[in-house]
Amino acid sequence: MHTSVMEPVRYLSSEEMQRIHENACKILEEIGMKIDHLKSLDYLRNAGCSVDFEKRTVKFPRQIIENAVAKMKTNYSCSKRLPKRMSVRYSQVGFDKKPFKIQGDFSVSSGGFCCFVLGLDGKRRAASISDVRDSLKLADKLDQITYTGLPVAAQEVPVGVRTVVMAAELAKATKKFGGIETFKARDVEYISRIGEVVQGGKKGLQESPILVGYAEVRSPLCLDEVMADVLIAHLERGLPQTIESMPNAGATTPMSAAGTLSMGAAETLGGLVLGFAVNPDATIGVDINPGYCDMRSMLFGYAGAERVPLLSARIQLISEFYGCPSGVHGGKTNACVAGIQAGVEKGISMLAPVLAGAIGFGTVGHLENAITFSPLQLVIDNEIARYVRRAVKGVEVTEETLDFETVKNSGIGGNTVSSESTMMRFKEEELLSPFFDALSWGTGDSLESRRFEKLAAAKAEELLAAESESPLNREQIKAIDEIVEEARKDPLMK
């Protein structure tokens, strides 16, 4: 077996990370955050923060922030603490202390709750329940996809129960449980019950959590009532939480990478303090998903060369400085269709995070700045991920791999094509992909400009036509269907 490359690419020095952190603390101390949630304001006041109930703003003393960071790091060092890791909306987070290095076993996640599908027929449409099931079936069968949330969300399902219905579809389709979107506290109750059915009860869900939503700060420096409700609902059920921020350089934060990372750190650290104020024994981590505002379109850019160092520095800040091993956005593109732009952006945005030490990336299968899901693109992304996985394998140096005997036997001017060593090792050493081929000019369909896309479409059609069974038994499926029906009738879910 090859050993993986170990040392990650570092964009920040220890001193630079410390300065980003100190500036984040200064933001929270002197500017503060708006927490539009009275229960949270009570928690924060009791924790020692300065709270203005009329304006619903909070200022965070430096020592309280540092205490929260220290508690988080201490929790991660506890070998008996569960869970050790959990899938979130776009990838994974780790709740245990581990060396900061390149992770050869990185995870690849699909999901994203996209509203639209670009079908294999080339037509873009609103996603339906049939698309949900097809997307989950495809993600389940692709070998490089480690986890999947909902690649699409059925638009015909009423908004009030959409998240619960989608969680049920995910639970019945696969064991590759990724994260899920939760839009209100009531969602958490029903989704947790679905998770308990799958994991055998509340204890099983707490020890190995699935279908867990997350709280997201609204940049700049706001935690709204809905997200505070979602955070508290998870923590009160004993489920882990990550506090996420998506600072948008040039729109909600300074245009500079350092300023954006610092603002993102401030936003998520404010949420960390709140989390421990709600539950001092919480399993909780911090997260930042920064991007640049594209000044041509004013869109939040999920791809682009400028996002590579920004995301890589974010991985280092969160994983190395704050000690929260995590995955990150990767496999993203701003392009609306499969092609050269999508290939370049997806390949680089997969490889760069892995080289920077991410434990995973996602969500893949997206086009159009993560608005449209494409089954064709998911198959392509699966193959790019395989390419990246091979690319980060190291070089094994042993007596066997130095292979002096093969050199001796082939001699001067000989060849090793028919040697036993070549026959034994070539499949391990080479990535002989039917997608990334090596053909001579004019051989077969070597001049077909969309050859890759046609192969991917054929593979998608093959996998979607294959038989598929639910990983759950009849009793579990029946119990989940009953939970969904209860949610549909719940007046609070309208």
Nearest CA to 277 among 318, 321, 228? 228
Q: Residue 1: what pLDDT? A: 41
Report the amino acid identity of residue 184. Answer: K
Pairing relationship of beta strands 291-292 and 248-249 according to DSSP bridges: parallel
Q: Where are the domains of the chain?
A: 14-391
**Exposed / middle / buried, residue 439 (Cβ in 10 Å: 0-12, 13-18, 19+):** exposed
Reading the block at residue 68, the tokens are 């929260």
**What's residue 4's pLDDT?**
56
Dihedral angle over CA of 352, 354, 356, 362, nearest 10:
80
pLDDT at position 369, please? 87
CA angle 174–243–70, rounded 5-degree value: 120
Query: Which burial class, exposed, middle or buried, applies to 61 when counting CB atoms under 10 A from its CB (0-12, 13-18, 19+)?
Result: middle
The contacts of residue 452 (CB under 8 Å, 6+ apart) are 380, 435
Enter the tokens of residue 4.
Answer: 């993986």
- Give the three-state DSSP class for 25: helix
291, 249 contact by CB (below 8 A): yes
- Distance between CA 204 and CA 197 in Å, rounded? 9
- Alpha-carbon dihedral 56, 62, 67, 70, rounded to 10 degrees: 120
Domain 14-391, CATH homologous superfamily name and number: Trimethylamine methyltransferase-like (3.20.20.480)
Per-residue pLDDT of the chain (494 residues), as tens digits, is 445 568 999 999 999 999 999 999 999 999 999 999 999 999 999 999 999 999 999 999 999 999 999 999 999 888 888 898 899 888 999 998 888 999 989 999 999 999 999 999 999 999 999 999 999 999 999 999 999 999 999 999 999 999 999 999 999 999 999 989 899 999 999 999 999 999 999 999 999 999 999 899 999 999 999 999 999 999 999 999 999 999 999 999 999 999 999 999 999 999 999 999 999 999 999 999 999 999 999 999 899 999 999 999 999 999 999 999 999 999 999 999 999 999 999 999 999 999 999 999 999 999 998 899 999 999 999 999 999 999 998 888 999 999 999 999 999 999 999 999 999 999 889 999 988 888 889 888 888 888 899 999 999 999 999 999 999 999 999 999 999 999 999 999 98
* Nearby residues of 352 by Cβ (< 8 Å), 6 or more positions away: 9, 308, 311, 312, 330
Which residues, in sequence order, are CB contacts of 183 under 8 Å at separation 6+? 163, 226, 230
Of all residues in the chain, what percent are helix, strand and coil, respectively (each to 5)? 45, 15, 40
> What global pTM score does this model have?
0.94
Q: Token pair for residue 191?
A: 């989704």
Q: What single string gives the DSSP state of each residue in 369-404?
A: TTTEE-HHHHHHHHHHHHHHHHHTB----SHHHH-H
